Chain A
Amino acid sequence: MWGLREVTALERPPTDLIDRVVERLAGVLRPDQILTAKTDRYNRARVPAPFPVHRWRERVPDLAVLPESTEEVAAVVAIANELKCPVVPRDGGTGLTDGAVPLRGGIVVDVKRMNQIHELDLENRTVTVGTGINMLKLNEVLGKHGLIYPDDPASYPCSLVGGRIGTSGWSLIGARYGHTRDLVLSFDLVLPTGEILHVGDGIGRQISKSSSGYQLKHLFMGHQGTLGIATKATLKLYPKPEAELSPFWAFDDYDAAYRFTGALARAGVATFAGAVLFDEWKVAYLRRDDEAYIPQPADVRALTCAVLYGWEDEVRVGGKRLFRIAKEHGARYLGDEISEGDWAARHDRYATPLHGRTKSGQVVPMSWHCEDAAVNYTRVPAVTKAWHEIVADLRRKTDVFDDWGMFAYTSADTGVDYLTEIDVGIWEQRLDDDAWAMWVRAKRDIAAAALAHGGSISACHGSCREGEVDLVPRELGRGFDVMLGVKRMLDPNNIMNPGKYLLDLAYQGGDLAARLAELRGEA
């Protein structure tokens, strides 16, 4: 076991500490880069995942800074480390596991001004960018060169490269192009002590495969800002696709759509970029409010869509193969208009309704919440059933929650595992302490169901929010102990996004083994 050291977890910094921090920051940043106004701070405490809004104040930072270079980020972090003031990296603020929400006040380092394109290398097909850049904006520039950076989350218009690194994001077209971890070749990172580190394969900036030394790139992705701040990244580029094909097919029942989705993913078509299975709850939900589905006949109960990208000749051949499989499975093609329109709407259809229904059918304002997991193909139906039961139980108790259905998306090109997602409408204005406690319990049950079926708590967003986070030591086993050791070594003062992922355990005295055994349900 690790030698324990007594370091008290940081609570909210006292005012005189913040005054000293601001004074010192004035030596490394211009006044317009240091934000202390209430609106600047409250806006940087907000993320899309619904939370009890009456507790907003608890999540507000003491100040925010807008650095413009790696050196400025390093200077800010060095001051924070010296004065032991919490630092929280923030990019687009679209994360769904509260990663960018300060739990102990302190400084939010907002990297959005670091949005430059530093170098476009057309020969080696890479681009080096500031991590505050957004993929959509980057692709507008790359498109002029016939290139694309194909990291395509549903949050594509609003999430940024640094946040993609911080979460190790998942892409809708990852079965063809890989996910963020595959597409980011290397990056500069400011460690919690303010030192600057370059991580990639080996020490390369533009190397996609090296066997030299430990593979540190993965360690510094998906840590939710607890191990440092990525400032400049080199990304892998592809030719902008000549052609896109996105057929949608309907089924009378879920089982048939499930079998068909599996067959598409296993077909080995090279241009296949992903398939999505919509379950009966999702179709019923869309039928309520979505113009494409309101007019659909009643026997449309489950759907599958697939998407292919590449040169036109390849996409046609691959597409025809998928349509032949569709015929064998009795899939009904939904038509060109829905197929094209719905795929193009993939970035906004989740959150747009902004309303749900009470049990009596009345419309109420609701925000979108999404729980995700990584689950093997053969376990998707069982997890789907278990999750709907958990949300049905919530809804029986209160109108605060509404089941908006589930998607299962292919993660890989072989169909091995799926990102399963349940969308839940939450009436945020009614989310009092009791309803929140109910939701946290449900989140824990949702995560436990994924683990019970051999899955991972999250394929996409991370798992550091109240509820699921308690199960992370169980999921990672001994790997969680390694996480604690790494955290303590790299962040001796626990300043980097403190309070996340139960990492405070790395600094607490007492019997760590007993606490971990308790969290793992072994005590």
Chain B
Amino acid sequence: MSYRYSDEHAPPAPQRASEVAVTTHEHVFEVDPRLMERWVLQQTFPNWDTLRIMHARHDHLDWMHAHFAQKTITGSDLIAEIENEA
């Protein structure tokens, strides 16, 4: 864990994602900091922790699929089948 090193506290420069959100790491969205100045202040997370939370989220979603069914069927698969049949 490298939380003691300052570069770990410097996420990639934010890109505007919408009027109210920015994105930093790939797939990581954050509230525009200007909207978190009064009642709730934004905290700085070490990069590894941000990425850990994001990956844990994906692990959780995969777990939930496997918990309810042995496999998932994708919509794109079915659309392709319908098009082939046409």
Chain A contact residues, CB within 8 Å of chain B: 136, 139-140, 143, 148, 152, 240-247, 287-289, 291, 294-295, 309, 312, 315-316, 319-320, 323-324, 327, 333, 335-336, 339-341, 344-345, 347, 355, 357-358, 361-365
Contact = CB atoms under 8 A, between A and B. Distances in A.
Nearest to A348: B60
Interface in B21-67: 21, 23, 27-29, 31, 35-40, 60-62, 64-65, 67
Given A336-B75, A347-B64, 15 more contacts: A152-B68, A242-B70, A244-B65, A294-B18, A294-B21, A312-B73, A316-B78, A319-B78, A323-B78, A339-B74, A340-B61, A340-B65, A341-B61, A362-B35, A362-B39
Given A344-B65, A345-B61, A245 B75 contact: yes
B73 A243 contact: yes
A244 B39 contact: no
Given A320-B81, A333-B79, A361-B35, A340 B40 contact: no
A317 to B, nearest CB: 10
Contact of A363 (B29, B36, B81): B36
B68 A244 contact: yes
Contacts of B17: 294-295
23 contacts: A152-B68, A240-B70, A241-B70, A242-B69, A244-B68, A291-B27, A309-B68, A312-B73, A316-B73, A316-B81, A319-B75, A323-B75, A333-B76, A339-B74, A344-B62, A347-B64, A358-B39, A361-B20, A363-B31, A363-B35, A363-B36, A364-B40, A365-B39
Nearest to A365: B40
B72 interface: yes
Nearest to A358: B39
Nearest to B73: A245
Given A244-B68, A324-B82, A365-B39, A288 B21 contact: yes
Contacts of A316: 73, 78, 81
Nearest to A333: B75
A355 B20 CA distance: 14
A324 B39 CA distance: 48
B55 to A, nearest CB: 13
A241 B20 contact: no
Contacts of A245: 72-75, 78
Contacts of A246: 72
A133 to B, nearest CB: 16
A358 B38 CA distance: 11
A291 B29 contact: yes
B35 A143 contact: no
B71 A244 contact: yes
A364 B41 CA distance: 10
B69 to A, nearest CB: 4
B75 A339 contact: yes
A295 B22 CA distance: 10
Given A295-B17, A320-B78, A365-B39, A344 B64 contact: yes
A-B interface, 10 closest residue pairs, ranked by CB to CB distance from nearest: A244-B69, A344-B61, A247-B75, A241-B69, A344-B64, A336-B74, A364-B39, A245-B73, A291-B29, A294-B21
Nearest to B57: A345
Given A324-B82, A336-B76, A364-B40, A242 B71 contact: yes
A339 B76 CA distance: 10
Contacts of A295: 17-18
Contacts of B71: 242-244, 312
Nearest to B18: A294
A143 B18 CA distance: 42
Nearest to B62: A344
Contacts of A333: 75-76, 79
Contacts of A242: 69-71
Nearest to B75: A247
A353 to B, nearest CB: 10
A335 B76 contact: yes
Contacts of B18: 287, 294-295
Contacts of A319: 73, 75, 78
Contact of A309 (B36, B61, B69, B79): B69
Contacts of B81: 316, 320
Contacts of A363: 31, 35-36, 39-40
A443 B65 CA distance: 35
A302 B23 CA distance: 24
Contacts of B70: 240-243
Tell me which of B40, B64, B75 has the highest count of chain A C-beta atoms within 10 A of its own C-beta.
B75
B73 A244 contact: yes
A289 B20 CA distance: 8
Given A143-B67, A363-B40, A315 B61 contact: no
Contacts of B75: 245, 247, 319, 323, 333, 335-336, 339
Contacts of B20: 288, 361
Contacts of B60: 344
A195 to B, nearest CB: 39
